[in-house]
Amino acid sequence: MKPVFRFPAGIEMTRDKGGLLLLIVATSFLLSTPARAIERATQCLIEPAMRVSLRSSVSAQIVGVLVDRGSTVKKGQVLITLDATVERATLASARYRSVMEGQVRSAEAKVANNESRLKRREELQAQHYVSAQDRDDAAAELRVAQGDLLEARDNRALSKLDGLRLDAEIGRRQLVSPIDGVVTERLQNPGELAQSGDAAIAILKLAQVDPARVELILPAARYGKLKLGDTVVVKAEAPFNGSYQATVKVVDSVIDSASGTFGVRLEVANPKHDIPIGVKCSVDL
């Protein structure tokens, strides 16, 4: 009878006819070990925290695109300029009208003159040198002059408001970055026509890579094991093979009844942009 050496975990060693030691691994051990590893490791994908398609809110010719694919951008940075020649000329006219003094001073002079005339008419009417009708006519002329003065002042105020509107309109012709991130695509160039609306072609596409985001889909059996603020380790696939500390930011409170799963969102700080974005990863839970 051949001697058999038994080891834990289903591993056996025996001798063949020539006395050579043979290693026998139980099938149950081979099958159970990968199963346990798969059960603990969850596949995932490292993604940007946000993707943005930058479009124009007005139809205008593109004058300049100040960044290119791969450029790092800051929130509020001007990325695209559109033609605003007509709007700038109209704004200059509105600003000039808002400080014009001619109409106001002319109206003020008419008011002062009619006030003096009415005062004289009232004195003469009291002495019965002029009729009450003359005094009433002078009073009416004064009211007309006061109305003209009010209109001149209103026109100046409206010109100031018109200037603010045109200034905002020119601002719409400068597209700024809504995020800190990087340019992933440049789809239009100077000289082309920027179209407005969601159906229009985007001029630039941006991605926010700090923080990076990891979305997990977990079975319902793991519900309650991860809580907001917990930290886990995210491992990037080869050839990167980096490990990163991630924080749990979102845990779905509703389980999908069809699949029996729920979602978890992780965030990984990436201030130096050294974490590879768009690569597969795993999370050891």
Q: Could you identify the residue written with the tokens 């009729």?
A: 131
**Residue-range domain boundaries for the chain:** 51-82+173-205, 87-171
First to last CA, the chain: 47
Confidence of residue 32 (pLDDT cuts 50, 70, 90): very low
Output 39 or 130, whichever has higher pLDDT. 130
* DSSP single-letter state for residue 136: H
Which strand ranges, in their side-by-side order, compose the sheet holding 11-15? 4-6, 11-15, 21-25
Phi, psi for residue 171 in degrees, rounded to 5: -60, -30
- Give the mean pLDDT of 4-12: 48
We find that the CATH architecture of domain 51-82+173-205 is Beta Barrel (2.40)
Tally of CA atoms within 13 A in the half-sphere of 137 that contains its CB: 7
Is pLDDT of 26 > 90?
Answer: no
- Span 142-169, pLDDT tens digits: 999 999 999 999 999 999 999 999 898 8
- Span 226-263, pLDDT tens digits: 999 999 999 999 888 899 999 999 999 999 999 999 99
CA–CA dist 68, 71 (Å, integer): 6
Query: pTM surpassing 0.75?
Result: no
pLDDT of residue 22: 46
pLDDT of residue 40: 55
pLDDT of residue 175: 95
Determine the 3-state secondary structure of 57 from DSSP.
coil
pLDDT of residue 41: 66
- Give the mean pLDDT of 272-276: 91
Distances in whole angstroms, Cα of residue 70 to Cα of each of 49, 131, 186, 209, 277: 17, 86, 9, 12, 13
pLDDT of residue 208: 96
Q: Could you identify the residue written with the tokens 């051990």?
A: 29
Q: Which of 37-41, 127-131, 263-267 has the lowest mean pLDDT?
A: 37-41
Q: Using CA of residue 243, residue 245, residue 249, residue 255, what is the dihedral sign?
A: positive
Strand partners, 51: 207
- Indicate the average pLDDT of the chain: 86
Strand partners, 23: 13
- For the chain, give the number of residues: 285
Instruction: Classify residue 96 as exposed, middle or buried by CB count within 10 Å of its CB (0-12, 13-18, 19+).
Output: exposed
pLDDT of residue 21: 45
**What residues have CB less than 8 Å from 93, skipping those under 6 apart?**
none
- Span 191-224, pLDDT tens digits: 999 998 878 899 999 999 999 999 999 999 999 9
- Give the mean pLDDT of 70-88: 95
Given a contact cutoff of 8 angstroms between Cβ atoms, the answer to whether 183 and 208 are in contact is no
